[in-house]
Amino acid sequence: QSALTQPASVSGSPGQSITISCTGTYWDVGSYNLVSWYQQYAGKAPKLMIYEVNKRPSGVSTRFSGSKSGNTASLTISGLQAEDEADYYCCSYVGTTTFRVFGGGTKLTVL
């Protein structure tokens, strides 16, 4: 059982915006602005899309954005494109005992 809760699936049409939530607790997401998001295509390694809640690595499209409110972090993808269809995982720092924890993953379908 994952420590961070994500919806199993979300879907949207090309051009629309979707948001994927990542719900933790006060002890992880709620206490640290250290949430990252990863995109994973089938059979491929994950790719970092967002770090420190809302920062984009160089080369990641500005269509990807992150935010946080309380114990829930969110990844928003605007202007959906067919190439965005993938699995998405959130990850949070969890202090000096558990250290890092991932969400259960969300499958994004572009209709």
Residues of this chain that bind other proteins (CB under 8 A) = 2, 34, 36, 38, 44-48, 50-52, 55, 57, 89, 91, 93, 96-105
Task: Give whichever of 10 and 101 is closer to other proteins, judged by the CB atom.
Answer: 101
In sequence order, which residues have a C-beta less than 8 Å from that of residue 74 and are 6 or more positions away?
Answer: 19, 20, 21, 22, 66, 67, 68
Residue closer to other proteins by CB (options 77, 89) is 89
Q: Which of 35, 16, 34 is nearest to 75 (CA)?
A: 35
Closer residue to other proteins (CB): 1 or 13: 1
Q: How far, in Å, CA of 70 to CA of 23, rounded?
A: 9
Contact 65, 78 (CB under 8 A): yes
Least separation in angstroms between residue 41's CB and other proteins is: 12
Name the minimum Å distance from CB 11 to other proteins: 19
Least distance (Å) between residue 88 CB and other proteins: 11
Distance CA(27)–CA(86), nearest Å, equals 29
In whole angstroms, how close is the CB of 15 to other proteins at the nearest point? 28
